[in-house]
């Protein structure tokens, strides 16, 4: 089914505005109805544009049609720009299925392939997505850590080469570029050392908006500095899971007799919402919708 009247937006206008005015759009990973409710409620209350990112694992868990419908409902309810973003996708058929459902924002992750193969894969998805008025984020360089079932050891991660980024952006036609400057997926065992000098060079060489993955656990100061150096989209996942699961676990331990999810999820949603508020303000996107 091809949905032509989607209320969702692509990320082009929001990222370009963020690039122009020196802030970033928070991209929060979602998993179910509750996470969509929490994130969009908080974004609407702070009048912030927002990106709801879903990995292949999330779609396998919940169903592409279910996730699409839930996010569409949020986009109707709130008068802020909301994008549903395919995070770390690799399978063309999965991407095409979501494009037909009305998704307007895609990340194709070819970062684990050789450079020329990454260009070929990414360019193919750009051609497809642009037919649907969807924007495409590519990735050059590789983050360590775990995203869904994909685990990248520290020794297999590598930073984005600025000169290669110029070639990659030009030959693929991507709308935004995810860069590797020392962040990782998941939380950090010690304070990460970000390569801001590298990021500054990339910003000077590449015109399109840049994306910071692995922002959970990064200090406000480092995120803000990354934004000042061209990062217009900041990905947050693990820092939302921790307060939700922690509050849910505590409630169920304290109330072993409770069986109503409307009650035992209430505090978990509140705790997650506080983190969403903090991250929106960290990105300085409040009031920008």
The mean pLDDT of the chain is 91
User: Is the pLDDT reported for residue 185 higher than 70?
Assistant: no
Instruction: Clarify whether 149 is annotated catalytic.
Output: no
3-state secondary structure of 189: coil
Across 106-118, average pLDDT: 94
- b or e along 7-27 (b: 16 or more beta carbons within 10 Å of the residue's beta carbon)? ebbbbbebbebbbeeebbbbb
3-state helix, strand, coil in the chain (%, to 5): 50, 20, 35
Q: What domains are there in the chain, each with its CATH number?
A: 12-242+271-283 (3.20.20.70)
Rounded CA separation 56/73 (Å)? 21
Across 164-184, average pLDDT: 93
Cβ-based neighbours of 249, under 8 Å, separated by 6 or more = none
Q: pLDDT tier at 239 (50, 70, 90 boundaries)? A: very high
Among the listed residues 87, 161, 175, 271, the single catalytic one is 87
Across 75-90, average pLDDT: 97
Can you give the pLDDT at residue 144? 46
Q: Is 186 annotated as ligand-binding?
A: yes
Do the Cβ atoms of 76 and 102 come closer than 8 Å?
no
Q: Is 109 annotated as ligand-binding?
A: yes
Q: Is 27 annotated as ligand-binding?
A: no
User: Is the pLDDT reported for residue 265 higher than 50?
Assistant: yes
Q: 6-38 pLDDT, tens per residue?
A: 689 999 999 999 999 999 999 999 999 999 999
Rounded CA separation 8/205 (Å)? 31
3-state secondary structure of 15: helix
Rounded CA separation 219/241 (Å)? 18
| Closest C-alpha among 224, 223, 227, 230 to residue 208 | 230
Q: Is 214 annotated as ligand-binding?
A: yes
Give 102's DSSP letter: T
Q: pLDDT tier at 74 (50, 70, 90 boundaries)? A: very high
Do the Cβ atoms of 44 and 17 come closer than 8 Å?
no
User: Is the pLDDT reported for residue 157 higher than 60?
Assistant: no
Q: pLDDT tier at 1 (50, 70, 90 boundaries)? A: very low
Can you give the pLDDT at residue 183? 77
């Amino acid at each position: 089914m091809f949905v032509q009247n989607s209320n969702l937006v692509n990320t082009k206008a929001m990222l370009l505005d963020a690039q122009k005015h020196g802030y970033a759009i928070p991209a929060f990973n979602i998993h179910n109805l509750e996470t969509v409710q929490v994130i969009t409620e908080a974004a609407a209350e702070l009048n912030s544009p927002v990106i709801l990112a879903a990995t292949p694992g999330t779609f396998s868990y919940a169903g592409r049609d279910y996730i699409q419908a839930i996010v569409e409902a949020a986009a109707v309810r709130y008068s802020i720009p909301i994008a549903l973003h395919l995070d770390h996708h690799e399978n063309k058929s999965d991407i095409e299925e979501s494009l037909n459902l009305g998704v307007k924002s895609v990340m194709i992750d070819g970062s684990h392939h050789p450079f020329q193969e990454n260009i070929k894969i990414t360019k193919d998805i750009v051609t497809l997505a642009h037919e649907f008025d969807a924007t495409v984020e590519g990735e050059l360089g590789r983050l360590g850590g775990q995203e869904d079932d994909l685990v990248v050891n520290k020794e297999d991660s590598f930073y984005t080469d600025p000169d290669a980024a110029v070639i990659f952006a030009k030959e693929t036609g991507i709308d935004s570029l995810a860069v590797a400057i020392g962040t990782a997926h998941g939380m950090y065992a010690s304070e990460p050392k970000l390569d801001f000098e590298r990021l500054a060079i990339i910003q000077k060489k590449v015109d399109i908006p840049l994306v910071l993955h692995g922002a959970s656990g990064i200090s406000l100061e480092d995120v803000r500095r990354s934004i000042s150096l061209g990062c217009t989209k900041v990905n947050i996942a693990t820092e939302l899971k921790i307060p939700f699961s922690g509050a849910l676990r505590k409630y169920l331990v304290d109330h072993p007799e409770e069986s109503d999810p409307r009650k035992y999820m209430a505090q978990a949603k509140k705790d997650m919402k506080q983190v969403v508020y903090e991250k929106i303000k960290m990105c300085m996107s409040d009031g920008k919708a």
